[in-house]
Amino acid sequence: MLQRLENEARLTEEAHRLYGLLKSVSKEDGSPWTYDDCLAAAPYTLSINRFKKEQNAVILAHSYTTPDLVYGVADYRGDSYELALKARETSADIIVFAGVWFMAETAKILNPDKKVLIPAGRAGCTLADAMTGEDMQKLRAQYPGVPALCYINSLAEVKAQCDACVTSGNVFDIAQKIPGKELIFVPDLLMAENLEAELERRGTPKKIISAGGSCCVHDKYRPENVQKLRANYPGIKVVAHPECPIEVCRLCDYVGSTKGMSGYVAQSEATCFGMLTEFGLVNRLEAEHPDKKFIWPFGVCRYMKQNTLANTLEALIDPRPEQVVEVAPALAAAAKKSIDKMFELTQ
Q: Which residues bind ligand SF4 (CB under 6 A)?
A: 64, 100, 125-127, 153, 215-217, 243, 278, 301, 303-304
User: What contacts 82, CB < 8 A, 6 or more positions away?
Assistant: 76, 259
Q: 237-240 long-range CB contacts below 8 Å, 24 or more apart?
A: 237/264, 237/268, 237/270, 237/272, 237/273, 237/274, 238/273, 238/274, 238/276, 239/264, 239/265, 239/273, 239/274, 239/275, 239/276, 239/277, 240/276, 240/277
Closest CA to 76 of 284, 235, 230, 252: 284
CB atoms within 10 A of CB 147: 17
Does 215 help bind ligand 13P (rule: CB under 6 A)?
yes
Instruction: Find the part of the chain contacting ligand 13P (CB under 6 A) among 24-32, 52-60, 163-171, 198-206.
Output: 163-171
CB atoms within 10 A of CB 36: 10
Residue 216 binds: one of ligand 13P, ligand SF4, none (C-beta under 5 to 8 A by kind): ligand SF4
CA angle 207, 241, 148 (to 5 degrees): 30
Residue 303 binds: one of ligand SF4, ligand 13P, none (C-beta under 5 to 8 A by kind): ligand SF4
* CB-CB contact of 104 with 86 (8 Å): no
Minimal distance in Å, beta carbon 152 to ligand 13P? 7
User: What contacts 249, CB < 8 A, 6 or more positions away?
Assistant: 194, 240, 242, 255
Minimal distance in Å, beta carbon 315 to ligand 13P? 20
Minimal distance in Å, beta carbon 135 to ligand SF4? 17
CA angle 17, 19, 24 (to 5 degrees): 135
* CB-CB contact of 143 with 216 (8 Å): no
Does 219 help bind ligand 13P (rule: CB under 6 A)?
no
Does 79 help bind ligand 13P (rule: CB under 6 A)?
yes
C-beta of 236 vs 304, nearer to ligand 13P: 304
Among 45, 65, 66, 80, binds ligand 13P (CB under 6 A): 80
Among 257, 283, 311, 338, binds ligand 13P (CB under 6 A): 257
Residue 80 binds: one of ligand SF4, ligand 13P, none (C-beta under 5 to 8 A by kind): ligand 13P
Residue 167 binds: one of ligand SF4, ligand 13P, none (C-beta under 5 to 8 A by kind): ligand 13P
Does 65 help bind ligand 13P (rule: CB under 6 A)?
no
Does 153 help bind ligand 13P (rule: CB under 6 A)?
yes
Residue type, position 228, single letter: K
Residue 257 binds: one of ligand 13P, ligand SF4, none (C-beta under 5 to 8 A by kind): ligand 13P
Instruction: Find the part of the chain contacting ligand 13P (CB under 6 A) among 11-19, 132-140, 162-170, 287-295.
Output: 162-170
Instruction: Find the part of the chain contacting ligand 13P (CB under 6 A) among 114-122, 164-172, 176-184, 325-333.
Output: 164-172
Q: Alpha helices, DSSP H only, in 206-298?
A: 223-232, 246-249, 258-267, 279-288
Closest CA to 90 of 107, 105, 104, 68: 107
Minimal distance in Å, beta carbon 175 to ligand 13P? 15
Taking CA atoms, 223 is separated from 127, 195, 300, 333, in Å, by: 22, 19, 19, 42
Instruction: Find the part of the chain contacting ligand 13P (CB under 6 A) among 10-18, 108-116, 165-173, 176-184.
Output: 165-173
C-beta of 99 vs 274, nearer to ligand SF4: 99
User: End-to-end distance of the chain based on CA atoms, in angstroms?
Assistant: 58
Minimal distance in Å, beta carbon 80 to ligand 13P? 3
**Footprint on this chain of ligand 13P (rule: CB under 6 A):** 79-80, 153, 167-169, 215, 241, 243, 257-258
